Chain A
Amino acid sequence: MAPKEFCKMLSRSKPGPGDGGKTGSWRVLRPVIDLEKCIPAKKNKKACFTCWLYCPDSVVSKTVPPSINLEYCKGCGICAEECPAGAIEMVDESSFIVEDK
């Protein structure tokens, strides 16, 4: 039988920042990681990464310590909600704007 490709089209999306454009500007609250409390930061080894697992936009890195790509983070707050160490605080974005000035 002549090999023919089927299922040429399927609804698939890859995880990664940018599927909806640069969504960082949507943010009202910014997640800030307290490295004193963050488990991988404290242990200084790969551990926990609950924030990485739960982030719906894959903007948290699986690194020690984890970092958040603010170009794409929408500020949904799921990471802060899920962090077992309570290490992530959602901070009003306007305070940073003042700071930047």
Chain B
Amino acid sequence: MYMIESGNVAAATGVQLARTQVIAAYPITPQTPLTEKLSEFVESGVLDAQYIPVESEHSAMAVCIAASTAGARAFTATSANGLLYMHEQLHWAVGARLPLVMCVANRGVGAPWTVWNDQQDSMSQRDVGWIQLYANDHQQIIDTTIKAFRLAQTVSIPVMVCYDGYLLSHTYMPFDKPDQEKVDAFLPPFTPRHFLDPEDPGNFNTVTLPDIRPGVDGTIEPGYMEIRHNLHQELREAIEVYQEIDREYQEQFGRGGTPLVEEYRCDDADYVAVCIGSLSYQFRDVIDLMREKGAKVGVMGIQMYRPFPDQAIVAALADRKGVIVFEKALSYGNQGPLYGDIKSALYSCEKKPALSNYILGLGGREIKTSQLIDALTEACAGQAAEDAPRWIGLKL
């Protein structure tokens, strides 16, 4: 069934179709309409869940951790400083291997205070161990949210579904709402392997010694380092698992096929622009215009950022003349985080593409198609192949 609604409502509808059991969230712009919609769903009975109001994002994540530890399918959502306030609990949720799903409506972080879009919030959480998926439009928001629940419970790792604040969260566009029965078949009820069970008491994640040790029944229990190594290994394996989940989703719903990266007119492209989120879609018009003038360019959107699908990225970018990374985030004092990751992935290539990095759209600064054309044209002419990022639209 098609509906025309905001990106936040697309996300809320995905959470409802996933039959989420516990929701705890603290409202923050531009995520607020998502949580308002979910509380409406719970109030009206459309969604049979506990909606737990909390006094902060830290508490929201703590409640989700508790609910998930008790075996419930739990969800939260946030933006910007709210996400940063959760940081400590994000580490806990993933270390405890809880299959939470969280939507992040991407917003710049203060100071200075901003409510508008960039991706500094989620990019600054890239190292906590959560899986990070990015959606480019409303259809991808609802589909990715449903797939995220399946992925999270398959690999026991929490998943962040990120989408651009305002640009997607508050913009209305048509999308298909999948049938409940089909979602139920795709996403069976959550049966946790490990959960707090009064019939089988145990402690989770208490002080874990530096070395392995015999447990109470004599079996060897892993130490902190083994547990962390296992998390990393299984995160790497999650790349393939998500591809399989996406394939199955595509069979059931007819959409998907780009779980890791989404390429547009890249087949014969000499130069490929790389970015994350709705910008990769805005770029399509740029690519079309430049193609009309004979430039062999394409754009690639990163859909899974963590774990980093480096093999897919190398396969897509290895033999290009140039790769131009456009980012709405910065590793301050260094360069764009995605740029650093892509550069590192391409290091092993025999023939390395020329690389350049552009920073744009911070704090909601408008990104004009003409600016993208200029930057891409400049980079294609080899005028930007340097390591320091260039800034687009800066008014100095």
Residues on A lying within 8 angstroms of B by beta carbon are 1, 4, 6-19
| Other-chain residue from A6, A9, A14, A18 in contact with B155 (beta carbon distance below 8 A) | A6
CB of B204 within 8 A of chain A? yes
B132 to chain A, nearest CB (A): 18
**A11 lies within 8 A of B204 (CB):** yes
Residue contact B234 to A7, C-beta cutoff 8 Å: yes
Residue among A1, A6, A15, A18 facing the most chain B CB atoms (10 A cut-off): A6
Question: How many contacts between A and B, using CB within 8 angstroms?
Answer: 66
| Among listed B47-55, B222-230, B336-344, B375-383, interface-contacting one | B222-230
Tally of contact residues, B, Cβ under 8 A: 31
CB contact between B216 and one of A10, A11, A14 (< 8 Å): that residue: A14
B204 CB contacts on chain A under 8 angstroms: 10-12
Q: Is there an interface contact between A15 and B202, defined as CB atoms closer than 8 Å?
A: yes
B148 CB, nearest partner CB in chain A, Å: 15
Partner of A13, one of B96, B154, B221: B221
Report B103-119 residues with CB < 8 Å from chain A CB.
Answer: none
* Chain B residue at smallest Cβ distance from A58: B201
Partner of B244, one of A1, A6, A10, A19: A1
| Majority-rule SS of A interface residues | loop
User: Using an 8 Å CB-CB cutoff, how does the interface string of B214-241 with A read, 1 for contact, 0 for none?
Assistant: 0111000110101100110010010001
Q: Is the CB of B156 within 8 A of A6?
A: yes
Name the CB-closest residue of B to A18: B216
What 4 A-B pairs have minimum CB-CB distances, sorted nearest first? A7-B156, A9-B230, A11-B208, A16-B216
- What's the Cα separation between A6 and B234 when bound, in Å? 7
Do A11 and B230 have beta carbons less than 8 Å apart?
Answer: no
Report the Cα distance A6→B54, complex, angstroms. Answer: 31
Contact of A15 with B201 in the complex, beta carbons under 8 Å: yes
**Shortest Cβ distance from residue A56 to the other chain B in the assembled complex, whole angstroms:** 10
Q: Which of B157, B201, B221 has the most CB of A within 10 A?
A: B221
Taking CB atoms, residues of chain A closer than 8 Å to B202 are: 12-15
Give B169-201 as 1s and 0s: 1 = Cβ < 8 Å from A's Cβ atoms.
Answer: 000000000000000000000000110000001
A7 to B226, CA, bound (A): 12
A-B contact pairs, 23 of them (CB 8 A): A1-B241, A1-B245, A4-B237, A4-B241, A7-B97, A7-B194, A9-B226, A10-B96, A10-B205, A10-B227, A11-B221, A12-B194, A13-B203, A13-B206, A13-B216, A13-B221, A14-B216, A14-B217, A15-B203, A15-B216, A16-B216, A16-B217, A17-B216
A1-B244, A14-B202, A15-B201 given; A9·B215 CB < 8 A: no
B245 nearest in chain A by CB position: A1
Per the bound structure, the CA–CA distance linking A17 and B97 in Å amounts to: 27
**In the complex the two chains form, what is the Cα distance from A7 to B155 in whole Å?**
7
Q: How far is the CA of A7 from the CA of B238 in the complex (A)?
A: 12
Considering the chains assembled together, what is the distance between the CA atoms of A14 and B202 in angstroms? 5
